[in-house]
Every structure is written in structure tokens, then in C-alpha cells.
């Protein structure tokens, strides 16, 4: 019988696992991948202790830290449901079923889809959701980044050093990302910002060769070979229907990372914590684990 099951191995899940291992808990980490959003982030300049590090480099350090402990990890598993069975908790994935006294849901978020013609057909054939992963494939090509927030600006900053031209296609009237990120793009003649622009379709033959947009009421076609979708994230919480969630699908927690059900805790971007940052996710993971430890010490299960 396990003390704790952790769902997810992003910054929150990995931190929780390290804390649990140091407390000598019996734990299992069940995850789709390792690193979460950190593994596909670009430059990270606000993580304490590192003036500069890339997301993938930081994710590797997280994983290396976790690997120093005897932590059992079930990778490449999709969680189907979590449920309460008396005093215990059962987690069911597409590959197995596991039981524990407590659980921390740290399943993070995933990229939103455009839901336009051609998106599904050209995924990984010129259309991608990760500039960090796939940017180098588009050297000296014309590309479009969809979105107007920090994630789209981060992608554009990476791509302006790789691509021939970078269009930022923004549905809003102004770009809303951090000022320091906007400054990095300002004055770069490779970057063209198209505000008030709605994506209508992804075009191509075997690979992407264009993007149809409607800009200020007029239809245009951008002759691009790459499209990077950066329009926000959706919480991976569909399996957690028994937990209270807000209108965005984020799991509701209190200051102790407790949910509405005893023994169920949550941490990181999947929760309703206001800011979604790597360092905050790590802090929330540690808090959740400390709350679990206190729960196990004060409840007879």
C-alpha cells in the first residue's frame, strides 16, 4: 500500500516527489511525460539561482535530481480517472490501476488548439505547438506564430534568430506580453506583428505552405512554411471530475493544496493558483507534499 501517488512529472510533480522521497514515503509517480511545460519552454531568466537557463536544461536538472532517489515512475501513461474507495484512493490509467492513501494531482496544462481547417492534417508537418522543440527545423524559412501573450512572444524571440521572417498573428488589437519581451522584438525587421487577425485555415500540400487569416475584415494569405500555435493552455484535469474545478477546468485548492475531498491534494498549473510560473509550480509541489505528510501523520488509514 503506497503512501502517495503523484500524477504528473513537471516542476510541481517532480518537486513533490523529491520532498516525499526525503520524508521516506512510499510513492509512485504516474505521468505522460517528464518535464511538463518546462521541457518545452524557451529561455528562463527568472528562476532563482540561474541568471539564464533554457527550459529543457532546467527540466533535465529536475529529472536528474529526482533520479537520485529510489522513486518508481510509470511513464507514458494516460490517466483515465481517480476515485475514492473508502479511506483509500484508486488511480486508473490506460495501462494499469494503482492504490494509495493520498494523491497529489500535478498534471499541468496542454496547448490549446486553433480548431480550424488544416490544423489536424498538418500537425507535425509544418504546424507545431513547441518552438523550443521544432524551431531549428525552420531555419531561413518564413513562419507564423499564433497568439499575443508571453508564450507567443517567447516563441517569436527564439524564431527570429532562426527563421527568415516571423509573423505574429494576434487576434487582439495589441500584443499583451511582458514589456521586456516586447522590447526584444522591437526594431527587428524580421518580425511583423499582425494585430486584429483571425486564423481561418492552415494551407498546404504534403507540408504547410500557407496560412489564411482575416485581418481587419479582409482575407489574406501568408506564404509561410511553419506555424507555431501559442494561444494558451488547458488544464489536464478531465480525469479529475470528482474534484471541484473552476470555469477554466482548474482544480480548486486552499492554501494547504487541499481539494474538496479528504486525501486529495493538487499542485502547479492544473490548479487555480493565479500565476503559472515554473518557480511557483515548484513551491506548490513542495507545499502539497508537506501537507500530505501532515495528513498521513494525523489520519488513521
Q: What backbone phi and psi angles, to 5 degrees, belong to 270?
A: -75, -10
Coil, helix or strand for 262? coil
* Set 33, 43, 130, 272: catalytic member: 130
Let me know if 134 is a catalytic residue.
yes
Distance CA 20, CA 27 (A): 7
Give every CB contact of residue 168 below 8 A, 6+ residues apart in sequence: 144, 145, 147, 148, 152, 153, 156, 175, 185, 191, 192, 193, 194
Long-range contacts of 208-214 (CB under 8 A, 24+ apart): 208/122, 208/125, 208/126, 208/127, 209/126, 211/144, 211/167, 211/169, 213/169
Distance CA 263, CA 279 (A): 25
Q: Residues 259, 262, 265, 270: what is their CA dihedral angle, to the nearest 10 degrees?
A: -40
Tally of CB atoms within 10 A around 220: 13
Task: Classify 67 in phi/psi space as left (phi over 0), alpha (psi -120 to 50) or beta.
Answer: alpha
Evaluate whether 175 touches 153 at the Cβ level (below 8 Å).
yes
Let me know if 130 is a catalytic residue.
yes
* Set 3, 43, 87, 133: catalytic member: 133
* Set 134, 269, 282, 289: catalytic member: 134
Grid look-up 522584438 returns: 185
Q: Which residues are catalytic?
A: 130, 133-134
Amino acid at each position: 500500500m503506497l503512501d502517495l501517488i503523484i500524477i504528473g512529472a513537471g516542476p510541481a510533480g517532480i518537486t513533490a516527489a523529491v520532498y516525499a522521497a526525503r520524508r521516506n514515503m512510499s510513492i509512485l509517480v504516474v505521468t505522460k511525460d517528464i518535464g511538463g511545460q518546462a521541457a518545452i519552454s524557451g529561455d528562463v531568466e527568472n528562476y532563482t539561482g540561474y541568471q539564464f537557463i533554457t527550459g529543457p536544461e532546467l527540466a533535465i536538472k529536475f529529472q536528474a535530481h529526482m533520479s537520485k532517489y529510489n522513486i518508481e515512475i510509470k511513464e507514458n501513461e494516460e490517466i483515465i480517472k481517480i476515485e475514492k474507495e473508502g479511506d483509500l484512493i484508486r488511480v486508473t490509467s490506460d495501462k494499469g490501476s494503482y492504490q494509495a492513501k493520498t494523491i497529489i494531482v500535478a498534471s499541468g496544462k496542454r496547448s490549446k488548439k486553433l480548431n480550424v481547417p488544416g490544423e489536424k492534417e498538418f500537425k507535425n508537418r509544418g504546424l507545431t505547438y513547441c518552438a523550443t522543440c521544432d524551431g531549428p527545423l525552420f531555419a531561413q524559412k518564413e513562419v507564423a506564430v499564433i497568439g499575443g501573450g508571453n508564450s507567443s512572444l517567447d516563441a517569436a524571440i527564439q524564431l527570429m534568430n532562426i527563421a527568415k521572417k516571423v509573423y505574429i498573428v494576434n487576434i487582439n488589437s495589441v500584443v499583451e506580453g511582458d514589456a521586456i519581451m516586447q522590447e526584444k522584438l522591437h526594431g527587428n525587421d524580421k518580425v511583423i506583428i499582425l494585430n486584429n487577425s483571425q486564423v481561418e485555415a492552415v494551407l498546404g500540400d504534403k507540408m504547410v505552405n500557407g496560412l489564411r487569416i482575416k485581418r481587419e475584415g479582409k482575407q489574406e494569405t501568408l506564404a509561410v512554411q511553419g506555424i507555431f500555435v501559442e494561444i494558451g493552455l488547458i488544464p489536464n484535469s478531465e480525469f479529475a471530475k470528482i474534484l471541484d474545478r473552476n470555469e477554466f477546468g482548474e482544480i480548486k485548492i486552499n492554501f494547504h493544496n487541499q481539494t474538496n475531498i479528504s486525501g486529495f491534494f493538487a499542485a502547479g498549473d492544473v490548479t487555480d493558483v493565479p500565476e503559472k510560473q515554473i518557480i511557483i509550480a515548484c513551491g506548490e509541489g513542495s507545499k502539497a507534499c508537506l501537507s500530505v505528510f501532515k495528513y498521513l501523520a494525523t489520519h488513521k488509514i
